[in-house]
Structure 1
Amino acid sequence: MAEKIKRVVLAYSGGLDTSVILKWLQVEYGCEVVTFTADLGQGEELEPVRGKAQMAGVKDEHIFIDDLREEFVRDYVFPMFRANAVYEGLYLLGTSIARPLISKRQIEIAHEVGADAVAHGATGKGNDQVRFELGYYGLDPDIKVIAPWREWELTSRSRLIEFAEAHQIPVAKDKRGEAPFSTDANLLHTSSEGKVLEDPWEETPDYVYSRTDNPEDAPDTPEYVEMDFEHGDAVAINGVALSPANLLTKLNALGKTHGIGRLDLVENRFVGMKSRGMYETPGGTILLSAHRGIEQLTLDRGAMHLKDELMPRYAELIYNGLWFSPEREMLQAAIDSSQAGVTGTVRLKLYKGSVDVVGRKADVAYNLYSQDVVTFEDDAGAYDQRDAEGFIKLNALRLRLLGRRTR
């Protein structure tokens, strides 16, 4: 018998899975369901979700549809990009970074409405169940979590549809067959997994891509873009100041046109298995190149190299759902400290799937690059080349001692 729950907040998309979950919670737990839908820039009209929740008997005051796009980019995406975070050298963490914000708002709503539980639609095979639940428990250690996919016996699409039909839940025609793949989208990326993508030897079919044009069909003329940074965050494109969400939206449009940001990856999930996914991160790919470009001028070598050492650990924490952990917060403090002087402008060249930094500049207050010192021409005494002899001899001392010992 299910544990007694009075009220639960469900992360609700309005799709088949979460619509079934909503009714299943009402039937199995006999509880009142509060729905929460986050607008993270997934590009879908979310207002129809309200009608679906109402049809399922959810009270108007218990239907939450929140526009979180600015908060998502400002407080989650941008801090992550200050670290230049990539998981396993390639993945820009588009799904991972959305989960802590959803968890945070879900717990806030639970407190607002007096709910004693939260629920999500993540399966028992994936990473998202871990990310959601670590977020929940990190913010409310006593919250009850319901994960239907780990409890129910609706283990196939046909059984989900049977349940939906038995409880008068509308099922769209395109949901009745086996889905060729599953997707998750937000303002940072779109991910596609499963079915047609499960064989890692087979090339991703063209119809899977939704956020980027084919690089082979992209314009034959490159496009040049300038991006301004202040203290590690992008603030303007081509001299036009933009809010975080609007800036990423603009970068996404540029990346789409030029076919930038496609990634076919076999990754190691936190739960232990390998999975193959196709990711499209057009704006994020441009942003990462630009951020590294301005750091080249403004970040000290020691700080830059330490950041690069810390980055894989930081990225793994986000991938594994540990955004609210003390170690992630410690690393974030160090990363943010390094960004105080990361201010300037980067010029980028976008062309047929590639993004290249072709120029960068910074005011003298932030610039660590000295043309007077590095020039191959007469440096007018800015650098004494004779100093290098002592530098080399001191660094060679231990090697010379080792060499003498091993003769």
Structure 2
Amino acid sequence: MFRKYCTMYICFTLLFIASFANTVTLTAANEQVTINVDHVNVRNGAGLTSSIIAKVKKGQTFDVVEKKNDWIKIELSRNETGWVASWLVKEKSSSKSSNSSVSNGNVISKATSLRIRSGPGTSFSVIGVFDKGKTAQYLEKSGRWIKISYSGKSGWVAGWYISKTTNTSAATVNPSTNNKHVKIIYNGTNIRSGASTGHSIVKRANAGETYTLLDTVGNWYKINLENDKIGYIAGWVVETSGINSPVTKPGSGKYVKNKTIVIDPGHGGQDSGAVGTRGTLEKNMTLVTAKLVYNKLRSAGANVFLTRTNDTYISLQSRVSTSHYRNADAFISLHYDSTSDRSASGTTTYYYNSLKDSPLAARLNSSIAQQSNLKDRGLKFGNFHVLRENKAAAALVELGFLSNRTEELTINTSNYQERISQGIFNGLALYFK
């Protein structure tokens, strides 16, 4: 009898352990799945009761993020994941590099804004961003995730978005003895076969890519692409190095020439600002816009200064101090909006002092609204530190809602960034005129 009960106890114990083990979430390492039936529902949780967030088709292949019971979490895109039933897919080892060769030294980001997380998986919180082209110190590896040390903090990044480098700093795409280069400011920048917008697009470049500058053709730069191919890029949409006189934007207003203008990209560093529905960080977008405005103004002969040029935290008082130190004629703080109302949309311009600030704010608001093609939310009073404490004519602009999914996608396009930066430039020209 004792043996019988003991045997039953062991059986139940083993069954309990097996059942418990079956519910543990596993992190997949270097695996992929291929959809095995015509259509498969992707859900927001591991079960048939979870809501459907997407549908995928037979033959599509996805990277595995996690496994749980009979469900597999897949990566739909860089910012989206979902769950599929394991009996509807075929599992296989991934041919994508797992970065197993990365065991020491440094790594470089291949993604525009690679999220740094507190642990090795997408379920862990985001603690920072590893910018494209930047270099970080390799610390350790767990599955397909890499732990790095970057900007004074350590965290985990997806290993399939980084590559190993033996250099201590990020290398340019096309290293050359020629010290003249152009650097791409935002994703989706068009490189064309000739020096005008009428020529065909030969490549779309992403932020951080650097190309050797061969010649200046009117308002365009002739650049060297891979395999010694030639391309042309508009001179007013890139940063330049080794060039004394950057090209001038066609039709640039003479009114901003010799004016001192401070452009303030909102947020930065540990202050990410608003976070979009698809993960866009406000601090990244304000810097992209600021650099475009900077190039336009500089090309027109203005004395332009940025309160920050990289992902660094700058206090509100330091931003105002830059304006005072430079004896600015105008100060513009750039932001992107967010609210719990997902339908909210449009651009807004704020001022503090109706006599000092509102003339600048009014001209910026009308020009931005004209260029953005978004809803014009108008001119409003704003009791913001960078406006209230500023001696210069100052305005704060909200350039669209990251909390609106459609507007977030628009904001991330190169076309919108070009138009919105031109709107700010036009507003300044009208103000000084």
Q: TM-score, normalised by structure 1?
A: 0.28
Which has the larger share of strand? 2
Which has the larger share of helix? 1
